[in-house]
Amino acid sequence: MKKTILSGMRPTGVLHFGNYFGALENWIRLQDDYSCHYFVADWHALTTGYEDTTRYKDNITEMIADWISTGLDPSKCVFFLQSAIKQHAELHLLFSMITPISWLTRNPTYKDQLAQMKEKNITTHGFLGYPCLQAADILMYKADYVPVGEDQVPHVELTREIARRFNFLYGNVFPEPQSLLTKAKVLPGLDGRKMSKSYNNTISFSDTPDEVYKKVMNMITDPARIRKTDPGHPEVCTVFAFHKIFNENEVPEIEENCRKGAIGCVQCKKNLALKVKEFHTPIHEKRTELLKRPDYIKDVINDGNGKAREIAEKTMYEVRAAMKIDWL
Ligand code: TRP
Ligand code: SF4
Protein backbone atom coordinates (compact mmCIF):
# COMPACT_ATOMS: atom_id res chain seq x y z
CA MET A 1 0.00 0.00 0.00
CA LYS A 2 1.37 3.36 -1.03
CA LYS A 3 1.33 6.09 1.59
CA THR A 4 -1.07 8.95 1.03
CA ILE A 5 0.03 12.46 0.14
CA LEU A 6 -2.15 15.53 0.06
CA SER A 7 -1.40 19.13 -0.75
CA GLY A 8 -3.17 22.18 -2.09
CA MET A 9 -2.53 25.54 -3.70
CA ARG A 10 -4.65 28.64 -3.62
CA PRO A 11 -5.65 29.84 -7.12
CA THR A 12 -4.22 33.31 -6.69
CA GLY A 13 -2.78 33.61 -10.21
CA VAL A 14 -0.65 31.97 -12.87
CA LEU A 15 2.25 29.89 -11.58
CA HIS A 16 5.75 31.29 -11.63
CA PHE A 17 9.20 29.75 -11.31
CA GLY A 18 9.16 30.36 -7.55
CA ASN A 19 6.03 28.23 -7.16
CA TYR A 20 7.60 25.57 -9.36
CA PHE A 21 10.88 25.23 -7.49
CA GLY A 22 9.25 25.88 -4.13
CA ALA A 23 6.50 23.27 -4.38
CA LEU A 24 5.51 21.82 -7.70
CA GLU A 25 8.83 20.16 -8.43
CA ASN A 26 8.41 18.19 -5.19
CA TRP A 27 4.84 17.30 -5.97
CA ILE A 28 5.95 15.91 -9.32
CA ARG A 29 8.75 13.89 -7.75
CA LEU A 30 6.34 12.29 -5.28
CA GLN A 31 3.73 11.15 -7.78
CA ASP A 32 5.32 7.79 -8.62
CA ASP A 33 5.91 6.56 -5.10
CA TYR A 34 2.84 7.82 -3.25
CA SER A 35 -0.87 7.96 -3.69
CA CYS A 36 -1.03 11.70 -4.34
CA HIS A 37 -3.98 14.05 -4.00
CA TYR A 38 -3.45 17.61 -5.17
CA PHE A 39 -6.18 20.18 -5.07
CA VAL A 40 -7.00 23.77 -5.86
CA ALA A 41 -7.82 25.47 -2.56
CA ASP A 42 -10.35 27.97 -3.85
CA TRP A 43 -12.18 28.30 -0.54
CA HIS A 44 -8.88 29.13 1.11
CA ALA A 45 -8.34 31.86 -1.48
CA LEU A 46 -11.68 33.34 -0.42
CA THR A 47 -10.59 33.66 3.22
CA THR A 48 -8.46 36.67 2.26
CA GLY A 49 -9.67 37.48 -1.26
CA TYR A 50 -13.41 37.51 -0.81
CA GLU A 51 -14.13 40.89 -2.37
CA ASP A 52 -12.96 40.58 -5.94
CA THR A 53 -13.71 37.04 -7.04
CA THR A 54 -13.72 37.66 -10.79
CA ARG A 55 -10.37 36.01 -11.54
CA TYR A 56 -10.85 32.71 -9.74
CA LYS A 57 -12.53 30.79 -12.57
CA ASP A 58 -9.71 31.53 -14.99
CA ASN A 59 -7.07 31.07 -12.31
CA ILE A 60 -8.34 27.57 -11.57
CA THR A 61 -8.22 26.53 -15.22
CA GLU A 62 -4.78 28.04 -15.66
CA MET A 63 -3.46 26.44 -12.50
CA ILE A 64 -4.49 23.00 -13.71
CA ALA A 65 -2.89 23.75 -17.09
CA ASP A 66 0.30 24.79 -15.26
CA TRP A 67 0.29 21.61 -13.21
CA ILE A 68 -0.11 19.32 -16.20
CA SER A 69 2.34 21.15 -18.44
CA THR A 70 5.09 21.10 -15.81
CA GLY A 71 4.72 17.32 -15.48
CA LEU A 72 2.14 16.57 -12.84
CA ASP A 73 0.23 13.65 -14.31
CA PRO A 74 -3.55 13.36 -13.77
CA SER A 75 -3.37 9.64 -14.49
CA LYS A 76 -1.04 9.21 -11.50
CA CYS A 77 -2.52 11.71 -9.05
CA VAL A 78 -5.99 12.78 -8.06
CA PHE A 79 -6.54 16.45 -8.95
CA PHE A 80 -9.58 18.08 -7.44
CA LEU A 81 -11.27 21.36 -6.68
CA GLN A 82 -11.89 22.00 -3.00
CA SER A 83 -15.27 23.71 -3.49
CA ALA A 84 -16.55 20.78 -5.54
CA ILE A 85 -16.21 18.46 -2.55
CA LYS A 86 -18.86 19.82 -0.18
CA GLN A 87 -17.80 17.36 2.50
CA HIS A 88 -14.84 19.66 3.21
CA ALA A 89 -17.35 22.26 4.39
CA GLU A 90 -19.11 19.75 6.62
CA LEU A 91 -15.89 18.53 8.21
CA HIS A 92 -14.69 22.10 8.63
CA LEU A 93 -17.90 22.91 10.48
CA LEU A 94 -17.57 19.88 12.75
CA PHE A 95 -13.93 20.68 13.50
CA SER A 96 -14.92 24.23 14.34
CA MET A 97 -17.05 22.82 17.17
CA ILE A 98 -14.06 21.23 18.90
CA THR A 99 -11.25 23.68 18.11
CA PRO A 100 -10.55 26.18 20.89
CA ILE A 101 -10.29 29.76 19.67
CA SER A 102 -6.94 30.12 21.43
CA TRP A 103 -5.41 27.52 19.09
CA LEU A 104 -6.42 29.70 16.16
CA THR A 105 -5.41 33.09 17.52
CA ARG A 106 -1.94 31.93 18.53
CA ASN A 107 -1.23 30.58 15.04
CA PRO A 108 1.84 32.49 13.77
CA THR A 109 0.59 32.71 10.16
CA TYR A 110 -2.62 34.28 11.42
CA LYS A 111 -0.76 36.90 13.42
CA ASP A 112 1.66 37.69 10.56
CA GLN A 113 -1.05 38.07 7.97
CA LEU A 114 -3.19 40.24 10.22
CA ALA A 115 -0.21 42.52 10.73
CA GLN A 116 0.73 42.58 7.03
CA MET A 117 -2.56 42.80 5.17
CA LYS A 118 -3.52 46.26 6.30
CA GLU A 119 -5.37 47.05 3.08
CA LYS A 120 -7.84 44.17 3.48
CA ASN A 121 -10.24 43.49 6.29
CA ILE A 122 -9.41 39.95 7.30
CA THR A 123 -10.71 40.14 10.84
CA THR A 124 -13.30 37.60 9.74
CA HIS A 125 -14.54 34.33 11.11
CA GLY A 126 -13.50 32.63 7.86
CA PHE A 127 -9.92 33.80 8.07
CA LEU A 128 -9.57 32.88 11.73
CA GLY A 129 -10.88 29.41 10.88
CA TYR A 130 -8.41 28.93 8.00
CA PRO A 131 -6.52 26.11 9.79
CA CYS A 132 -9.78 24.28 10.59
CA LEU A 133 -10.54 24.17 6.88
CA GLN A 134 -7.00 23.05 6.14
CA ALA A 135 -7.33 20.32 8.76
CA ALA A 136 -10.51 19.17 7.04
CA ASP A 137 -8.69 19.05 3.68
CA ILE A 138 -5.89 16.94 5.09
CA LEU A 139 -7.77 14.62 7.43
CA MET A 140 -10.55 13.93 4.93
CA TYR A 141 -8.06 11.87 2.91
CA LYS A 142 -6.26 10.54 5.99
CA ALA A 143 -3.03 11.84 4.52
CA ASP A 144 0.24 10.46 5.88
CA TYR A 145 2.34 13.28 4.48
CA VAL A 146 1.65 16.86 3.54
CA PRO A 147 4.34 18.42 1.33
CA VAL A 148 4.41 22.10 2.25
CA GLY A 149 6.73 25.04 2.67
CA GLU A 150 8.10 26.13 6.02
CA ASP A 151 5.30 28.70 6.41
CA GLN A 152 2.62 25.99 6.43
CA VAL A 153 4.15 23.80 9.13
CA PRO A 154 2.11 25.43 11.94
CA HIS A 155 -1.06 24.58 10.00
CA VAL A 156 -0.09 20.94 9.77
CA GLU A 157 0.76 20.96 13.47
CA LEU A 158 -2.70 22.36 14.22
CA THR A 159 -4.17 19.64 12.03
CA ARG A 160 -2.45 17.05 14.21
CA GLU A 161 -3.86 18.68 17.32
CA ILE A 162 -7.36 18.72 15.87
CA ALA A 163 -7.02 15.04 14.87
CA ARG A 164 -5.87 14.18 18.39
CA ARG A 165 -8.73 16.07 19.98
CA PHE A 166 -11.28 14.47 17.68
CA ASN A 167 -9.91 10.99 18.35
CA PHE A 168 -9.88 11.64 22.09
CA LEU A 169 -13.50 12.84 22.11
CA TYR A 170 -15.08 10.38 19.67
CA GLY A 171 -12.72 7.49 19.07
CA ASN A 172 -9.93 6.82 16.68
CA VAL A 173 -10.83 8.03 13.20
CA PHE A 174 -7.90 10.13 12.01
CA PRO A 175 -4.21 9.32 11.67
CA GLU A 176 -1.86 12.22 12.46
CA PRO A 177 -0.31 13.61 9.29
CA GLN A 178 3.25 14.83 8.99
CA SER A 179 4.69 17.77 7.09
CA LEU A 180 6.99 16.76 4.32
CA LEU A 181 9.64 19.42 4.12
CA THR A 182 11.74 18.50 1.15
CA LYS A 183 14.58 20.83 0.61
CA ALA A 184 13.35 23.07 -2.15
CA LYS A 185 15.69 24.95 -4.43
CA VAL A 186 15.63 28.63 -3.72
CA LEU A 187 15.26 30.76 -6.79
CA PRO A 188 15.19 34.48 -6.07
CA GLY A 189 13.01 36.91 -8.01
CA LEU A 190 14.38 38.97 -10.89
CA ASP A 191 15.43 41.72 -8.49
CA GLY A 192 17.05 39.42 -5.91
CA ARG A 193 14.16 39.55 -3.44
CA LYS A 194 11.88 36.56 -2.88
CA MET A 195 10.02 35.76 -6.11
CA SER A 196 6.48 36.94 -5.58
CA LYS A 197 3.64 38.29 -7.67
CA SER A 198 3.29 41.24 -5.32
CA TYR A 199 6.91 42.30 -5.96
CA ASN A 200 6.38 42.08 -9.72
CA ASN A 201 9.65 40.15 -10.09
CA THR A 202 8.44 36.82 -11.43
CA ILE A 203 8.88 34.69 -14.52
CA SER A 204 5.68 32.77 -15.19
CA PHE A 205 4.88 29.85 -17.42
CA SER A 206 2.31 32.10 -19.08
CA ASP A 207 5.04 34.56 -20.18
CA THR A 208 5.97 34.27 -23.85
CA PRO A 209 9.54 33.20 -24.71
CA ASP A 210 10.21 36.81 -25.81
CA GLU A 211 9.05 38.19 -22.50
CA VAL A 212 11.21 35.68 -20.66
CA TYR A 213 14.24 36.67 -22.73
CA LYS A 214 13.69 40.36 -21.96
CA LYS A 215 13.22 39.65 -18.29
CA VAL A 216 16.50 37.73 -18.11
CA MET A 217 18.39 40.40 -20.03
CA ASN A 218 17.06 43.09 -17.65
CA MET A 219 18.14 41.28 -14.51
CA ILE A 220 20.29 43.14 -12.03
CA THR A 221 23.90 41.93 -11.80
CA ASP A 222 26.80 42.80 -9.53
CA PRO A 223 26.56 46.62 -9.29
CA ALA A 224 30.34 46.84 -8.75
CA ARG A 225 30.93 45.77 -12.35
CA ILE A 226 31.01 48.67 -14.75
CA ARG A 227 33.44 47.43 -17.34
CA LYS A 228 33.59 43.90 -18.59
CA THR A 229 37.06 43.48 -17.11
CA ASP A 230 36.05 44.54 -13.59
CA PRO A 231 36.27 41.56 -11.23
CA GLY A 232 32.76 40.39 -10.31
CA HIS A 233 31.15 39.00 -7.17
CA PRO A 234 28.85 36.18 -8.22
CA GLU A 235 27.56 35.73 -4.68
CA VAL A 236 25.66 39.03 -4.89
CA CYS A 237 24.40 38.44 -8.43
CA THR A 238 20.89 37.20 -9.20
CA VAL A 239 21.96 35.98 -12.63
CA PHE A 240 24.45 33.72 -10.91
CA ALA A 241 21.77 32.38 -8.57
CA PHE A 242 19.75 31.48 -11.65
CA HIS A 243 22.74 29.77 -13.28
CA LYS A 244 22.97 27.53 -10.20
CA ILE A 245 19.52 26.18 -11.01
CA PHE A 246 19.33 26.29 -14.78
CA ASN A 247 22.94 25.75 -15.74
CA GLU A 248 24.50 23.72 -12.97
CA ASN A 249 27.31 22.22 -15.04
CA GLU A 250 28.83 25.53 -16.03
CA VAL A 251 28.65 27.15 -12.60
CA PRO A 252 32.35 26.68 -11.66
CA GLU A 253 33.46 28.11 -15.01
CA ILE A 254 31.11 31.10 -14.76
CA GLU A 255 32.22 31.79 -11.22
CA GLU A 256 35.86 31.77 -12.21
CA ASN A 257 35.37 33.94 -15.29
CA CYS A 258 33.23 36.38 -13.39
CA ARG A 259 35.79 36.81 -10.62
CA LYS A 260 38.58 37.24 -13.14
CA GLY A 261 36.62 39.75 -15.18
CA ALA A 262 36.86 37.41 -18.15
CA ILE A 263 33.18 37.39 -19.06
CA GLY A 264 30.80 40.30 -19.53
CA CYS A 265 27.43 40.41 -17.82
CA VAL A 266 25.59 40.72 -21.12
CA GLN A 267 27.18 37.53 -22.40
CA CYS A 268 26.58 35.82 -19.08
CA LYS A 269 22.89 36.73 -19.25
CA LYS A 270 22.63 35.55 -22.84
CA ASN A 271 23.98 32.17 -21.79
CA LEU A 272 21.44 32.04 -18.99
CA ALA A 273 18.58 33.13 -21.24
CA LEU A 274 19.28 30.14 -23.47
CA LYS A 275 19.12 27.71 -20.55
CA VAL A 276 15.98 29.29 -19.14
CA LYS A 277 14.41 29.09 -22.58
CA GLU A 278 15.14 25.35 -22.81
CA PHE A 279 13.25 24.84 -19.57
CA HIS A 280 10.46 27.34 -20.13
CA THR A 281 9.49 27.04 -23.80
CA PRO A 282 8.22 23.43 -23.90
CA ILE A 283 6.16 24.03 -20.76
CA HIS A 284 4.81 27.30 -22.13
CA GLU A 285 3.84 25.59 -25.38
CA LYS A 286 2.15 22.69 -23.68
CA ARG A 287 0.23 25.07 -21.46
CA THR A 288 -0.90 27.15 -24.44
CA GLU A 289 -2.13 23.99 -26.15
CA LEU A 290 -3.96 22.81 -23.05
CA LEU A 291 -5.72 26.13 -22.62
CA LYS A 292 -7.16 25.70 -26.09
CA ARG A 293 -8.89 22.59 -24.75
CA PRO A 294 -10.84 23.83 -21.71
CA ASP A 295 -13.12 20.79 -21.97
CA TYR A 296 -10.18 18.48 -21.41
CA ILE A 297 -9.18 20.45 -18.31
CA LYS A 298 -12.75 20.26 -17.06
CA ASP A 299 -12.76 16.49 -17.64
CA VAL A 300 -9.55 16.11 -15.64
CA ILE A 301 -11.01 18.03 -12.73
CA ASN A 302 -14.38 16.30 -12.86
CA ASP A 303 -12.71 12.93 -12.95
CA GLY A 304 -10.55 13.79 -9.93
CA ASN A 305 -13.50 15.32 -8.10
CA GLY A 306 -15.34 12.03 -8.49
CA LYS A 307 -12.50 10.08 -6.90
CA ALA A 308 -12.02 12.61 -4.12
CA ARG A 309 -15.73 12.70 -3.37
CA GLU A 310 -15.84 8.94 -2.92
CA ILE A 311 -13.08 9.06 -0.31
CA ALA A 312 -14.62 12.11 1.34
CA GLU A 313 -18.04 10.53 1.67
CA LYS A 314 -16.51 7.42 3.20
CA THR A 315 -14.65 9.49 5.76
CA MET A 316 -17.77 11.49 6.58
CA TYR A 317 -19.71 8.28 7.29
CA GLU A 318 -17.06 7.36 9.83
CA VAL A 319 -17.05 10.85 11.29
CA ARG A 320 -20.82 11.04 11.66
CA ALA A 321 -20.90 7.57 13.18
CA ALA A 322 -18.08 8.32 15.62
CA MET A 323 -19.82 11.54 16.67
CA LYS A 324 -23.16 9.72 16.86
CA ILE A 325 -24.80 12.28 14.62
CA ASP A 326 -25.81 9.70 12.03
CA TRP A 327 -29.42 9.74 13.12
CA LEU A 328 -30.94 9.29 9.68
N1 TRP B 1 -2.67 26.95 3.08
C2 TRP B 1 -1.98 26.41 1.93
C3 TRP B 1 -1.15 27.52 1.29
O4 TRP B 1 -1.51 28.66 1.37
C5 TRP B 1 -2.92 25.82 0.92
C6 TRP B 1 -3.65 24.67 1.50
C7 TRP B 1 -4.97 24.63 1.81
C8 TRP B 1 -3.10 23.41 1.82
N9 TRP B 1 -5.29 23.41 2.29
C10 TRP B 1 -4.19 22.63 2.33
C11 TRP B 1 -1.82 22.86 1.74
C12 TRP B 1 -3.98 21.33 2.76
C13 TRP B 1 -1.62 21.56 2.20
C14 TRP B 1 -2.70 20.80 2.69
O15 TRP B 1 -0.17 27.22 0.65
FE1 SF4 C 1 26.61 38.08 -12.56
FE2 SF4 C 1 27.50 36.79 -14.67
FE3 SF4 C 1 27.89 39.43 -14.42
FE4 SF4 C 1 29.21 37.73 -12.87
S5 SF4 C 1 29.37 37.89 -15.09
S6 SF4 C 1 28.18 39.60 -12.20
S7 SF4 C 1 27.69 36.12 -12.57
S8 SF4 C 1 25.96 38.39 -14.67
- 197 alpha carbon to ligand 2 midpoint, in Å? 25
Query: 220 CB less than 6 Å from ligand 2?
Result: no
Rounded to two decimals, the pTM is 0.92
- What's the rounded Cα separation, in Å, for the pair 266 and 81? 44
Distance 240 CA to ligand 2 centre (A): 6
SS3 at position 224: coil
Question: Are 284 and 205 a contacting pair, CB within 8 Å?
Answer: yes
CA 175 – CA 173 distance, rounded (Å): 7
Please give the Cα distance from 245 to 76 (Å, whole number): 27
Cα–Cα distance measured from residue 303 to residue 287, given in angstroms and rounded to the nearest whole number: 20
Distance 288 CA to ligand 1 centre (A): 27
Minimum-distance ligand 1 atom for the alpha carbon of 23: 15
Whether 222 lines ligand 2, by a CB cut-off of 6 Å, is yes
pLDDT of 128 reads 94
- CA–centroid distance, 236 to ligand 1, in Å, is 33
> For residues 65 and 289, is the Cβ–Cβ distance under 8 A?
no
Instruction: Region of 171 please: left (phi>0), alpha (psi -120 to 50) or beta.
Output: left
Please give the full DSSP string across 165-199, using - where no structure is assigned: HHHHHH-S--PPPEEE-------B-TTSSB--GGG
Q: In terms of pLDDT, which residue wins out, 109 or 324?
A: 324
Q: Residue 27 C-alpha to ligand 1 middle, in angstroms?
A: 13
Amino acid at 308: A
Contact 27, 72 (CB under 8 A): yes
Q: What share of the chain in percent tops pLDDT 90?
A: 83
Domains and CATH numbers, the chain: 4-187+294-323 (3.40.50.620), 207-288 (1.10.240.10)
Nearest CA to ligand 1 atom 6: 8
Residue 327 pLDDT grade (very low, low, confident, very high; cuts 50, 70, 90): confident
Reported as a pLDDT band with limits 50, 70 and 90, residue 159 is very high
Identify any residues that bridge with 16 across adjacent strands, giving them in sequence order. 204
The response to whether residue 40 sits with its C-beta less than 6 Å from ligand 2 reads no
